[in-house]
Amino acid sequence: MDGQDTGLPGGVDVTVASVARMHDYYLGGKDNYPADREACAHLLTRAPSTAVLARNNRRFLRRVVRLLAEEQGIRQFLDHGSGLPAQDNVHQVARRVHPDARVVYVDHDPMVAAYGRVLLEEDDRTAVVRADLRDTAAVLGHPRVAGLLDLREPVAALFVSVLHCVPDEDDPWAVVRRVAGRLAPGSCLVVCQLVSDDPATRDSVTGFMREATRGGWGRVRARHDVDRYFDGLEVLPPGVVEVAQWRPDSEVHPRQPGRELLEYGGVGRVPDDR
């Protein structure tokens, strides 16, 4: 089944699970299909906390965007692997602080790009770009990115719950380093991904997701793998942590039914003396 059969954009195969559509399902969205829901059900048998992780991760995204706008004065955001639109998207959160904030959403999924352009490009200060986040030159050199973002000024580059989709052979750590190297001092990189302290869980979830998405997955990693993303950056308090513990608005948040998987990350600032 392809996009012509379903009325969806070309390149969309709804018979194969999509990470973006699985995340949409966990958040209670409607832009998902039986293959996505079946994959979610199977994943929950391996990692019962997955749905709660998705909700906590969305809260982290909203919180970190607000705090970077308020406390770091950032008015430009580049959201790598943005996924399908949901409630309180990056530009909506940022503009509660800075009404002139500019936001570019980047995703390689054709459905995300098409739906995003309809729902997120509300004005001339937001854009949705279809590009592969692994190709930093193509992302930052895209006319929509270059036209909206001034890389001479601080930018918040977001890699929220996406780098576990990048295989080791594509070096996700180098992706983060390349982006950091192109940004002005005072810019911030927000990075988090799925981790597990149990090697068997890492292997089980990684193997299942690679099969379910037919290669659209990298690896569940260990915490020390995520720590490496912040090499050369000034890590903002409270450090690299489970994301529900990153500057929580309150102590009340959905409790995970298990700790077999964690969303782990933080915020790194590009030093002034670089």
The model's pLDDT over 203-227, given as tens digits with 9 standing for 90+, comes to 999 999 999 999 889 999 999 999 9
**Rounded Cα gap, residues 75 and 69, in angstroms:** 6
**Rounded Cα gap, residues 96 and 70, in angstroms:** 10
The model's pLDDT over 75-85, given as tens digits with 9 standing for 90+, comes to 999 999 998 88
pLDDT at site 249: 84
Better pLDDT: 172 or 254: 172
The model's pLDDT over 2-57, given as tens digits with 9 standing for 90+, comes to 433 455 666 678 899 999 999 999 999 898 999 999 999 999 999 998 999 999 99
Residue appearing with tokens 């292997």: 203
pLDDT at site 119: 75
Residue appearing with tokens 């955001």: 77
Q: Is the dihedral of CA 218, 223, 228, 233 positive or negative?
A: positive
| Average per-residue pLDDT for the chain | 91
**Rounded Cα gap, residues 138 and 145, in angstroms:** 10
How far is residue 202 from each of residues 18, 107, 164, 208, 261, measured CA to CA in Å? 19, 25, 11, 10, 8
How far is residue 60 from each of residues 32, 75, 274, measured CA to CA in Å? 23, 18, 28
pLDDT at site 10: 63
DSSP 243: G
pLDDT at site 61: 96
Could you state, in order of their start, the residue ranges of all structural domains in the chain? 3-269
CB 186 within 8 A of CB 154: yes
Q: How confident is the model at residue 251 (pLDDT cuts 50, 70, 90)?
A: low
The model's pLDDT over 54-105, given as tens digits with 9 standing for 90+, comes to 999 999 999 999 999 999 999 999 999 998 888 789 999 999 999 999 999 9
pLDDT at site 271: 97
Give Cβ neighbours of residue 89 (< 8 Å, ≥ 6 apart). 105, 120
CB 236 within 8 A of CB 68: no
pLDDT at site 96: 96
pLDDT at site 172: 98
The torsion region of residue 179 among left (phi > 0), alpha (psi -120 to 50) and beta comes to: alpha
CA 158 to chain centre: 6
Mean pLDDT of 131-142: 96
For 3-269, the fitting CATH number among 1.10.150.120, 3.40.50.150, 3.40.50.300, 3.40.50.720 is 3.40.50.150
* Full-model pTM: 0.92
CB 217 within 8 A of CB 209: yes
Percent of the residues in the chain that have a pLDDT greater than 90, as a whole number? 76
The model's pLDDT over 172-190, given as tens digits with 9 standing for 90+, comes to 999 999 999 999 999 999 9
